[in-house]
């Protein structure tokens, strides 16, 4: 629900590559890894460029339920996030780095509504500003960026977190 969308595009790419090569030579996981790397570069993260090692295998039995159960919930607090990451063999550094992905894109108000109305650790003027876009009722599906530069991969997301001016925890 609150994760990646657009997997039909990945399926189309895989079908086209498989047809072109007359074989299944690339996995959906490889396509996602390359797309993530290229997206980072396009969004201004050219200083993050890295080689993508190909050769991942797609799982034999993918499960949307298992994926959603494994991802941290939108309302997870810091201890819950650390616990979730540790259960997957990841550490605090991984949590910080992967959280930076929230620098781009939008989130539904339902995922952060409780924070802008109930959290005492949020900047009050920021909360008031966000409340006009995410009303208490009727605005759950409205979308808002998680930082001031949602089309750029930069450090604005992290700065907003430090200033308590983010709908994220």
pLDDT in tens, 34-50: 988 888 888 876 667 78
Cβ atoms of 26 and 54 within 8 Å: the answer is yes
Shared domain check, 60 and 80: no
DSSP H stretches of helix in the chain: 7-21, 28-42, 64-70, 78-87, 92-99, 113-118, 124-131, 156-162
Binding residues for substrate: 72
Domain check: are 59 and 4 in the same one? yes
The per-residue pLDDT for 14 is 87
| Same-domain pairing of 83 and 143 | yes
Domain around 21: 1-71
Q: Which residues are annotated as a binding site for heme b?
A: 102
Domain end call among 16, 40, 71: 71
Q: Give the CATH number, domain containing residue 46.
A: 1.10.520.10
Give 93-125 pLDDT, tens digit per residue: 999 988 988 888 889 999 888 889 998 889 999
Same structural domain, 50 and 127: no
Known binding-site positions: 72, 102, 147, 149, 154
Looking at the fold, whether 120 and 100 belong to one and the same domain comes out as yes
**Residue 159 above 90 pLDDT?**
yes
- φ/ψ region of 96 (left if φ > 0, alpha if ψ in -120 to 50, else beta) reads alpha
Would you list which residues are annotated within the binding site for Ca(2+)?
147, 149, 154
């Amino acid at each position: 629900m609150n994760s990646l969308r657009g997997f039909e595009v990945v399926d189309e790419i895989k079908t086209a590559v498989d047809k072109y090569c007359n074989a299944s030579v690339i996995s959906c996981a490889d396509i996602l890894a390359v797309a993530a790397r290229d997206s980072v570069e396009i969004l201004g993260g050219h200083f993050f460029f890295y080689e993508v090692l190909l050769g991942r295998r797609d799982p034999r039995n993918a499960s949307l339920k298992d994926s959603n159960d494994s991802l941290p919930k939108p309302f997870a607090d810091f201890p819950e996030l650390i616990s979730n990451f540790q259960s997957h063999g990841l550490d605090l550094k991984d949590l910080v780095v992967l959280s930076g992905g929230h620098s781009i894109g939008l989130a539904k108000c339902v995922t952060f509504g409780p924070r802008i109305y109930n959290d005492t650790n949020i900047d009050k003027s920021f909360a008031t500003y966000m409340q006009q876009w995410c009303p208490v009722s009727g605005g759950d599906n409205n979308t808002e960026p998680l930082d001031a530069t949602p089309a750029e991969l930069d450090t604005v997301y992290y700065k907003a977190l430090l200033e308590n001016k983010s709908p994220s925890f």
